[in-house]
């Protein structure tokens, strides 16, 4: 049976791979076809999933806060960078959807951290 440390390491690797996919999808000059899906929903969902899955490798609130900051910086940075990519544009509404996804995902991750018995330190 894999150790907790091994599982956390695997969760971190998968989280980084997810970031690679999101980064590619957001910065590719020929964006993937969303097949009628709401652009804002895709932005929200991507950042929500990445944020909440950080719980897989975070053992405490300090690590969760660090992961949350990475998510926040990436949510802003990737959207700003889209404005520099040919055929892509910066949209404030997309950035808002990214940030809403991060906020929701991190709030649920913090709640889960407490419920799993990994007591967060005072913020």
User: Is residue 4 over pLDDT 90?
Assistant: no
User: Is residue 2 over pLDDT 80?
Assistant: no
User: Which pLDDT belongs to residue 118?
Assistant: 59
**Domain spans in the chain, listed from the N-terminal domain onward:** 4-24+38-115
Give residue-wise pLDDT tens across range 87-123: 888 999 999 999 999 999 999 999 998 887 755 445 4
Give the global pTM.
0.86
Burial annotation 32-63 (CB, 10 A radius, 16+ → b, else e) = eeeeeeeebebbbebbbebbbbbbebbeebeb
User: Is residue 1 over pLDDT 80?
Assistant: no
User: Is residue 15 over pLDDT 80?
Assistant: yes
């Amino acid at each position: 049976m894999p150790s907790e440390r091994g599982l956390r390491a695997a969760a971190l690797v998968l989280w980084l791979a997810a970031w690679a996919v999101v980064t590619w999808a957001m910065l590719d000059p020929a964006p993937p076809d969303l097949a009628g899906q709401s652009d804002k929903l895709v932005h929200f969902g991507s950042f929500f999933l990445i944020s909440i899955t950080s719980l897989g490798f975070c053992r405490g609130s300090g690590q969760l806060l660090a992961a949350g900051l990475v998510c926040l910086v990436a949510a802003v940075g990737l959207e700003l960078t889209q404005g520099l990519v040919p055929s892509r544009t910066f949209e404030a509404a997309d950035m808002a959807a990214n940030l809403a996804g991060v906020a929701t995902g991190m709030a649920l991750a913090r709640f889960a951290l407490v419920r799993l018995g990994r007591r967060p330190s005072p913020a």
